[in-house]
Structure 1
């Protein structure tokens, strides 16, 4: 165990107990499909640590109070529970909602369930071992605060110091989940809630009212700046550019078409949106890394602590898995596959430092940076461009997730080795459940993805970058090339301004991620998320303490309720078609 002095350290009574592990597994099974569903719908996912903490504490402390002989649910058991559950839910960083579907769309090849599980697990497993070897150095760097890990720590300590508050939040969480789940069930099985639109032309441009409480919940989490940016982006892309494209014949609608024409219009609109997002995130990442380098140099350099060599067997096993699966599943040359390992290590370390400093995981930027790197090394090869880059993105995702957990564990005196075991178990469960959920939701990626039902913006981004690097800009129309150039310049400027301006001024800039995303999502999705952000902001203005206590919890319930019901509905339909 790390030897530290902290007011949060408590004696380790029970930690990696069977009930802590089993609770984390059960919650991981329930929560992983939520992130797969949300990732395919809107391209964003939700950190499930707080939900796991509240539910685990509510169940076991409730049982302990009702039975005098039952042991209390310890702080360290809560930590293991949330580590397993959040690791499982974060499995989508392994490629399930981005490079894997993009690979299918570009090559027509769909992996079977078992190979897909093996691949997602292998890239995530590599990220865990990278985090293990980075842990001593990054946690000893006082400049890295790991804000997301500290938020989980504050919630963990809060529910143990204020048990009644935890019970109240759990009721809010379950109530919101029930409301959202029932609404989705009614819309799916009983009575299709009408998608109202003020006029036929606006409906054609996807301006409809989507009765999705999941979108409202995400709006409550993202905040007013991101919500209003989504609204601005929807008006710019779908209210401004889309009509102009139709009027000038740059996009042709099928004869006799009616209703929202998302699939046709997004084939053009995704290019400026993706260009804006990629250039903004890469510019912002470069500036943040330079700032980290400068601050580290000024403080005398980072303290590098070499861990023991014992766990090297696990690290080598992860490397063998990733390299061999690239060769077996995607036909990538083993030497080229081996080249992905040092790149994955470097980029995962970059992502971990950025998350430690800002709390924002730059997984999208890491993925696109990897694609650009392999586009130079192996031009014109789609499998290498997507799946080798998937190695870096998947490793970075699990590395940052585990580093946040290590930050929590260090503060409470947890055992790092047991956290590593919990994370490994979590990604194993998450790989199986996540793949099954993906295959249940999207049995036919070629016809289902990049549609109004499943916009899959992350898939669109990876697919567009791979297409551009494989076929070159000359394969695109002149209007799209101009759109890419303008979007890229705008993203570059916004990314630089967002990184160099003081925080009190930068908050008035539009969010570049949200602005680009609005070009890839139907306007109806952006409108509902903006509605959630505005409603939450208005409530916070009137009742700030109430919002601080319950807004995130209620939003998490809305997200979990609809997504779990949506996955269940897809499974029901799949069984009915057998």
Structure 2
């Protein structure tokens, strides 16, 4: 009977504890570099190692694969709470309006948009999870790791040791950076330092580089060289950007005010074009397939819960942001439709188009509610939050389906996860960033997702006439290049060779919005991982991702803890 143990107290509590510990890591990295890390594999390794070790010292019931699934579902849902707006529309709303959402209402808001996405996923489960044409690559990676853990238990413990050792090393580096003063940031000369080309001794950046791979890492490098090494000096020479008198050191804040516009245009156009082509292609394939599975039939309880979640989101829009009831109500069908679209994209490509759904929602509200930036940000926030939790749960459903888990128990675990994630994520965000207007979109906290949402909202509110002519031309160039990227990326779905050679539009555009030092260090991590893989493939396949994840988790957890400690020392 042991193999059938699934929704146990220890599985749920393990997921809650890990979710609470790992959610700060994604908040930290989201504000630093605009990316987050799926915590499913970390959850699998940590809890398997923990319960296997405990079995050595006393008799007990084995830790089953179904308990691992409940554990990783809870952990990943908590850690993915940042899709609810914590590192993008919520800070952008504060930057634009000057209003900080109170603590408890912010928790309620993040929970409500995520809760809506969970029930959309439940409604889509039968039609998408059972669709064999949708591969769900992220779910496949989680399942393969799970199967390796349970078939080669000793190897799983070795991976856990590597992850823990890397986390300890990264934590010590970050602790030294905080306790002894900032570690040296070396730059070849003052001119390059001014353009943000310096060496940032950050294990987190190297770890993320190892995770994203050589293609994305080199795309960041090329984008940084073009933006900060080519365009930025030209802006200074032409007088379109003027530095303050006596300015020294990295001038990220001044330069990014111009560079973010072509970067954002490239990102938005690339994601929307590739998304549109993929959706059109999937629609044609579905129409041509007479054996395509039928959508799930409406069920009373899921529809009731969707109605409840929708009502909660509408009420919070009206109460917290003074959004007109009709606009608040319109956000629901748009968000549900975009969550469904994102779900099919994730099933086909493994890439969650959270940013694209948010920007598409922003563009829609820019048309139906021009000039209303609060509506543009917070109503669009619902689409991103719902899409994030919807796609996360569908990946978990696919894993559960393949190992025979109960979907209703996974849904409960997901709900528990977003409760924990909402509480911990909001507390961490507020403690890390007590003054968003003074701290964000700076060298210390580049917050690229915040910059993107803010820029789109401002353009849609004020119109292009309010933007300098040089910026408008840069936006047009970025949009054209992004559209070309999007077309090629959609084509790359059918050409493995093109997929390997094509630069990443997400990384290329992101390089315009973050300091060059961040791109350089992430590219370094990607190159190191590539070299190790080329020389020692078997070793790399077992340990590179574990080591990289440890570097990310170690620095971010110590960084969050150090921020809390300094705030406590200053009296809050």
For normalisation by structure 2, the TM-score amounts to 0.98
Does 2:204 match 1:211? no
2:392 to 385, 401, 407: 401
Deviations 1:115-169 (A, max 9, x none): 1100000000000000000001112212111110111111111111111011000
Query: Quick check: 1:12–1:413 contact (8 Å CA) kept in 2?
Result: no
Q: Aligned runs of 1:110-189 on 2, under 5 Å?
A: 110-189=100-179
Residue 367 of structure 1 corresponds to which residue in structure 2?
A: 358
Pair 1:567 & 2:557 matched: no
CA RMSD of aligned residues (A): 1.1
Separation of aligned partners in 2, 1:512 and 1:555: 23
- The partner residue of 1:288 within 278, 297, 303 is 278
Structure 2 unaligned blocks of 5 or more: none
Q: 1:218-238: CA deviations, max 9, x gaps?
A: 000111111111111111000
Q: Is the 8 A contact 2:345 2:352 kept in 1?
A: yes
Q: Does 1:511 align with 2:501?
A: no
Aligned: 1:73 with 2:66:
no
Q: Do 1:120 and 1:431's aligned partners in 2 also have CA atoms closer than 8 Å?
A: yes
**1:506 Cα deviation (Å)?**
3.4
Distance 1:498 1:310, change over 3 A: closer
**Aligned with 2:566: secondary structure?**
helix
Deviation at 1:297, TM superposition (A): 1.7
* Distance in structure 1 (CA, Å) of the matches to 2:408 and 2:220: 42
Structure 1 pair 11–373 and aligned structure 2 pair: CA distance change class (3 A):
farther
Match of 2:246 among 256, 269, 276: 256
1:346 is the counterpart of 2:300: no
TM-score by length of 1: 0.97
User: Once the two structures are superposed, what CA deviation does each residue of 1:11-64 show, in whole Å capped at 9, x if it has no partner?
Assistant: 862211111111101000100000000000000000000000111111112112
- The reply on whether 1:524 has 2:517 as its aligned counterpart is yes
Report the counterpart of residue 5 of structure 1 in structure 2: none
Conserved 8 A contact 1:136-1:307: no
In the other structure, the counterpart of 2:216 is 226
Bigger Cα displacement from structure 2, 94-103 vs 309-318 = 309-318
Quote the Cα distance in structure 2 between the aligned partners of 1:527 and 1:560. 20
| Distance in 2, Cα, partners of 1:275 & 1:417 | 41
Q: What is the CA-CA distance between 1:308 and the residue it aligns to?
A: 3.0
Q: How many residues align?
A: 568
Picking from 189, 193, 202, the partner of 1:199 is 189
Structure 2 equivalent of residue 4 of structure 1: none
Indicate if the aligned counterparts of 1:140 and 1:303 stay in contact, CA closer than 8 A.
Answer: no
Task: Give yes or no for contact 1:288–1:354 (8 Å, CA) kept in 2.
Answer: yes
User: Contact 1:39/1:97 (CA < 8 Å) preserved in 2?
Assistant: yes
CA displacement at 1:317 relative to structure 2: 1.6
Q: 1:541 aligns with which of 528, 534, 542?
A: 534
On the 8 A contact 1:296/1:302 being kept in 2, the answer is no
- Give matches, 1:247-396, under 5 Å: 247-300=237-290, 301-396=292-387
C-alpha deviations, 1:187-211, integer Å up to 9, x for none? 1112421000000010000000000
1:198 aligned counterpart, secondary structure: coil
CA positional deviation for 1:186? 0.3
Equivalence for 1:447: 438
Unaligned runs of 5+ in 1: 1-9
Superposition deviation, residue 312 in structure 1: 3.0
Give deviations 1:485-538, integer Å, cap 9, x for gaps. 001001101110121242202321221111100000100000000000011111
Partner residue in 2 for 1:7: none
Kindly provide the CA deviation profile for residues 363-402 of structure 1, in whole angstroms up to 9, marking residues without a partner as x: 1110100000000010000111000000011000000000
Task: State how far apart, in whole Å, the 2-side matches of 1:277 and 1:496 are.
Answer: 13
CA contact (8 A) 2:134 2:348 kept: yes
Residue 20 of structure 2 corresponds to residue 29 of structure 1: yes
Asked whether the 8 Å contact 1:137–1:302 carries over to 2, the reply is yes
Helix, strand or coil for the counterpart of 1:484?
helix
Task: State how 1:16-55 maps to structure 2 within 5 Å.
Answer: 16-55=7-46
C-alpha distance after superposition, 1:83-127 (max 9, x if no partner) = 111100000000000000000001000111101100000000000
In structure 2, distance between residues paired with 1:345 and 1:243: 44
SS of 2:4's equivalent in the other structure is: coil
Question: Residues 141 and 303 of structure 1 are in contact (CA less than 8 Å); yes or no, is this contact kept in structure 2?
Answer: no
CA distance in structure 2 between the partners assigned to 1:403 and 1:536 by the alignment: 30
SS at the partner of 2:94?
helix
Structure 1 position 557 matched with structure 2 position 522: no
